[in-house]
């Protein structure tokens, strides 16, 4: 399938201008759509490569910033910092949503990537605990908070941007670019972790090796910001602004007029929040620290699974365009309820081939949710509060359950002694998401409000 087949250039996107008037057809040329797809992909890729570096190098980072004889305690503290950085994401969701709906998607996205890049680059320069004591983890936490704040605007803004530029019958496919870029960032992070741990000994990794992925943030982030500054806001957004003044307080309007959609959207995100960080971020640590798999093998298994994940994402986007968002999202939840715990039981066999196949299976199941969720969330809210609705629901659920997932998984194993605990936790998240999606309305075949 060619790029033009995947992302048709000349299909008009239908937008409703007034409740009592006919639709206005807006045609977007192929060059503009390619720029939008590229900018969304690169920017989101950079943000999540930065996040992946922390997750995949958690064992090394724990030794640098939390030296202790108890490895599990050090990991808990490392993942605790990871989780705390998510506490600011709802705050970021409110602020970036407000900015994105008030002054435009382009401006919000340009500033969010700049903040993330700067914070990530500064992490690479931090001294460790041996040099400045408790100041090291405190500085790490401060920079992680900046990362969490900036990431709160990225995913929601990029997805809203793509959905508003997409042809009406390809919104699922276009929005799938966002989770695909996220997975690509994770894939590069996993590859880099695998190469570094394979080439360097533990002392070299703790001394300087772990800093390399964070140093790469600066050039990649500046490229992403440059591309974004060359874009215009979507025709759908600009038309809404021309018809009437933007909401003075988009978040207030969201809670006042769209509270039901907000509640259902937050519940629908739960499986994605827990599944994403358990399957794609925490898994290498689980395999090496809990199951005793060599670190290099853990990274390799995750890398293979991520490579297949990216292909599944686009397939899921197309499926959601054909069969609807609800049907695909509910299928994902049912599969997780049925197969998560058995999959974790197979991981415990220690057989490398089985582990890779199980990770591919779990990843394929997750893509049914991950590849559909961006278009589902963007379509749930009208243009004037779309960024806010997406950002608040997505970041609230991720703050409560996504960023805490590695910490909760490690804590559940430590307290229960049950290596299947992360699987049960993931299954519970799937049940809640299933109920939320079942109570929502289908959005795929409706014009953007």
Torsion of CA 431, 449, 158, 242, to 10 degrees: -160
Q: Is the pLDDT of residue 267 over 90?
A: yes
Place of tokens 């190098």: 57
| Residue among 274, 216, 246 nearest 404 (CA) | 274
pLDDT at position 13 is: 38
Q: φ and ψ at 209, to 5 degrees?
A: -60, -40
Cα distance from N-terminal residue to C-terminal residue, the chain: 31
The confidence band for 19, taking pLDDT boundaries of 50, 70 and 90, is very low
| Residue among 173, 322, 253, 242 nearest 24 (CA) | 242
Q: What is the mean pLDDT of residues 163-187?
A: 90
Cβ pair 106, 233 in contact under 8 A: yes
Torsion of CA 298, 299, 300, 303, to 10 degrees: 130
Q: What is the pLDDT of residues 354-391, one digit of tens each?
A: 999 999 999 999 999 999 999 999 999 999 999 999 99
pTM (global) more than 0.85: no
pLDDT at position 362 is: 92
Domains belonging to the chain, first-starting first, are 27-242+258-438 (1.20.1250.20)
Rounded Cα distance between 176 and 119, Å, is: 27
Q: What is the mean pLDDT of residues 299-316?
A: 87
| Residue among 245, 344, 341 nearest 291 (CA) | 344
Contacts of 200 (CB under 8 A, 6+ apart): 209
Q: What is the pLDDT of residues 290-303, one digit of tens each?
A: 788 887 788 788 78
Q: What is the mean pLDDT of residues 25-46?
A: 79
Mean predicted lDDT score pLDDT of the chain: 85
pLDDT at position 56 is: 73
Contacts of 100 (CB under 8 A, 6+ apart): 107, 108, 109, 153, 156, 157, 160, 387, 388, 391
Q: What is the mean pLDDT of residues 55-76?
A: 78
Rounded Cα distance between 427 and 168, Å, is: 34
Q: Retrieve residue 341's tokens.
A: 């715990």
| Residue among 44, 56, 47 nearest 281 (CA) | 56
Which span out of 44-53, 84-93, 369-378, 403-412 was modeled with the highest average pLDDT?
Answer: 369-378
Q: Is the pLDDT of residue 418 over 70?
A: yes
Rounded Cα distance between 32 and 9, Å, is: 9
Rounded Cα distance between 240 and 242, Å, is: 5
Q: What is the pLDDT of residues 214-244, one digit of tens each?
A: 898 788 888 888 888 888 888 888 888 888 7
| Residue among 442, 312, 275 nearest 375 (CA) | 442
Q: What is the mean pLDDT of residues 50-72?
A: 77
Q: What is the mean pLDDT of residues 310-336?
A: 95
More confident residue, 269 or 306: 269
Place of tokens 């960023």: 403
Rounded Cα distance between 64 and 68, Å, is: 10
pLDDT at position 24 is: 52
Contacts of 146 (CB under 8 A, 6+ apart): 115, 116, 118, 119
SS3 230: coil
Cβ pair 265, 160 in contact under 8 A: no
Q: What is the mean pLDDT of residues 87-92?
A: 88
pLDDT at position 3 is: 41
The confidence band for 20, taking pLDDT boundaries of 50, 70 and 90, is very low
Q: What percent of the chain has pLDDT over 90?
A: 36
Q: What is the mean pLDDT of residues 108-112?
A: 88
Could you please report the per-residue DSSP string of 134-180? THHHHHHHHHHHHHHHHHHHHHHHHHHHHHHHS-GGGHHHHHTHHHH
- Specify the DSSP class assigned to residue 293: -
């Amino acid at each position: 399938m060619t790029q033009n087949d995947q992302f048709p250039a000349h299909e008009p996107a239908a937008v409703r201008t007034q409740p009592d008037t006919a639709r206005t057809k807006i045609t977007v040329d192929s060059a503009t759509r390619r720029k939008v797809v590229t900018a969304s992909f690169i920017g989101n890729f950079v943000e999540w490569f930065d996040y992946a570096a922390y997750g995949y190098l958690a064992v090394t980072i724990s030794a640098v910033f939390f030296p202790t004889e108890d490895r599990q305690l050090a990991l808990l503290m490392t993942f605790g910092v990871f989780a705390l950085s998510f506490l600011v994401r709802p705050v970021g969701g409110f602020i970036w949503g407000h900015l994105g709906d008030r002054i435009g998607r382009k401006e919000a996205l340009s500033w969010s990537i700049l903040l993330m890049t700067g914070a990530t680059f500064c992490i690479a320069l931090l001294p460790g605990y041996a040099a400045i004591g408790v100041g090291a983890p405190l500085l790490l936490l401060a920079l992680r908070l900046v990362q969490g704040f900036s990431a709160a605007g990225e995913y929601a803004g990029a997805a809203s941007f793509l959905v508003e530029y997409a042809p009406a019958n390809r919104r699922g496919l276009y929005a799938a670019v966002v989770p695909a870029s996220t997975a690509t960032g994770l894939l590069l992070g996993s590859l880099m972790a695998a190469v570094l741990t394979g080439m360097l000994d533990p002392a070299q990794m703790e001394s300087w090796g772990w800093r390399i992925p964070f140093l790469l943030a600066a050039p990649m982030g500046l490229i992403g910001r440059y591309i974004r500054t060359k874009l215009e806001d979507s025709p759908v957004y600009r038309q809404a602004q021309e018809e009437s003044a933007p909401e003075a307080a988009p978040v207030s309007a969201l809670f006042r007029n769209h509270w039901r959609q907000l509640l259902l959207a937050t519940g629908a995100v739960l499986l994605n929040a827990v599944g994403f960080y358990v399957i794609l971020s925490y898994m290498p640590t689980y395999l090496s620290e809990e199951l005793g798999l060599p670190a290099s093998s853990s990274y390799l298994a995750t890398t293979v699974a991520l490579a297949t994940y990216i292909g599944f994402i686009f397939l899921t986007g197309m499926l959601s365009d054909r069969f609807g968002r609800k049907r695909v999202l509910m299928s994902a939840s049912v599969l997780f309820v049925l197969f998560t715990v058995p999959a974790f039981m197979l991981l415990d066999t220690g057989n490398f081939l089985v582990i890779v196949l199980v990770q591919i299976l779990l990843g394929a199941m997750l893509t049914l949710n991950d590849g559909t969720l961006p278009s589902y969330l963007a379509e749930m809210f009208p243009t004037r509060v779309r960024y806010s609705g997406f950002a608040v629901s997505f970041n609230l659920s991720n703050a409560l359950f996504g960023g805490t997932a590695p910490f909760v998984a490690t804590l559940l194993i430590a307290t229960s002694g049950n290596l299947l605990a992360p699987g049960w936790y993931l299954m519970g998240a799937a049940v809640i998401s299933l109920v939320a999606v079942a109570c929502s309305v289908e959005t795929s075949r409706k014009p953007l409000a």
